[in-house]
Amino acid sequence: MQIAPEITFEGCEPSPAAREAILKEIERLETHNQRITGCRVSVVAPSHKHRHGAGFQIHIWLTLPPHENIVVNHSHVDDARHKHVEVAIRDAFATARRQVDALAI
């Protein structure tokens, strides 16, 4: 990757474990396509105003020439597993890998 990944946390304190999981997933994503030049990841914590159905949201922006940016907005409001940030990160990057693989076809 030409540009260092940018990772932000909204509505929660930055978690070293979550940051490490994201960096690991970015490395895994690069094995699917070495032309990725940039990656931004935003982790959005669930709102405390809602009691049910809210989980972490993960937004991924990839720069992959010659294609335009790939955007993955991953939030499953009805998935109780996404109350755990690691699960939400894993699922979001799985979606990103499928999109990157689809471009290669």
The CATH code of the domain that includes 84 is 3.30.160.100
Q: Is 1 part of any domain?
A: no
Is 64:36 a contact under the CB 8 Å cutoff? Answer: yes
Q: Is 80 part of any domain?
A: yes
* Number of domains into which the chain is organized: 1
Check residue 80 and give its pLDDT.
Answer: 59
- Beta bridge pairs of residue 41: 7, 60
Check residue 3 and give its pLDDT.
Answer: 87
Check residue 82 and give its pLDDT.
Answer: 56
Query: Using CA atoms, how far apart are residues 68 and 53, in angstroms rounded to an integer?
Result: 33
Low-confidence ranges of the chain (pLDDT < 50): none
DSSP string covering 11-28: SS---HHHHHHHHHHHHH
User: Range of 59's domain?
Assistant: 6-104
pTM to 2 decimal places: 0.85
**Each residue of 67-90: pLDDT tens digit?**
778 888 876 555 555 578 899 999
Check residue 97 and give its pLDDT.
Answer: 93
